[in-house]
């Protein structure tokens, strides 16, 4: 395969970049599958209610305030 490789809407300068992208995507898919199966076979966690989301928002806002200089 010489020259450029065109896959769907992206163009890759060399075929090795296209193959690398395919490998990365497959690895991501495998990692996600592993995490989903691990989660499906784990014990149930604590209940998720309004208090859980309020605490989550509070932590996210605190982290955002800590990193204000990155914005």
Task: Between 12 and 5, name the one with better pLDDT.
Answer: 12
Q: Are 55 and 47 in contact (CB under 8 A)?
A: no
Q: Where are the domains of the chain?
A: 1-42
Task: Between 45 and 7, name the one with better pLDDT.
Answer: 45
Task: Between 11 and 65, name the one with better pLDDT.
Answer: 11
Mean per-residue pLDDT of the chain: 85
Tokens encoding 71 = 């914005």
pTM above 0.75, yes or no: no
pLDDT, tens only, 12-46: 888 899 999 999 999 999 999 999 999 999 999 88
């Amino acid at each position: 395969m010489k020259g450029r490789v065109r896959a769907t809407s992206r163009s890759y300068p060399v075929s090795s970049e296209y193959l690398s992208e395919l490998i990365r995507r497959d690895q991501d898919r495998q990692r996600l599958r592993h995490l989903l199966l691990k989660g499906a076979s784990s014990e149930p966690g604590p209940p998720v209610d309004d208090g859980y989301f309020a605490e989550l928002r509070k932590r996210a806002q605190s982290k955002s305030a800590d990193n204000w200089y990155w914005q």
